[in-house]
Amino acid sequence: MGVATTIACLPYGEEGEDRRSSRNFGVNQLPNEGHLKWRVISKMGDTDICFDVKQKGPNNTNITRYEGIKDGVITEYEALRNLYIANPRNATGHFLVRVESCE
């Protein structure tokens, strides 16, 4: 595994945001090893957390980049910024998402 970024997430949408459950983050600072591995860490022991990853675009548009991400999913590397975790499912408490660069 390579370098990683970690994102703190709520089990529900942030205040005033129905779908967003994290602050913005980027994976563009991670080295391009070809893929990204998504890890979910839950203090509550939730094992089936699932979420989408959206990107904040111009004029308050939101682009869905990845859907149905779960622990261990591997996606192609894209050097993206202004991402956020959205639509969390099966989470009973706060959780962390760790995104790692990998081959």
pLDDT band of residue 2 (cuts 50, 70, 90) is low
| Cα distances (Å, whole numbers) of residue 39 to 30, 34, 60 | 15, 17, 28
The half-sphere exposure of 85 on its side-chain side, counting CA atoms within 13 A, is: 29
Q: What is the pLDDT of residue 15?
A: 77
Is the pTM higher than 0.85?
yes
Q: What is the pLDDT of residue 17?
A: 78
Q: What is the pLDDT of residues 18-68, one digit of tens each?
A: 789 999 999 999 999 999 999 999 989 999 999 999 999 888 889 999 999
Structural domain boundaries in the chain: 4-102
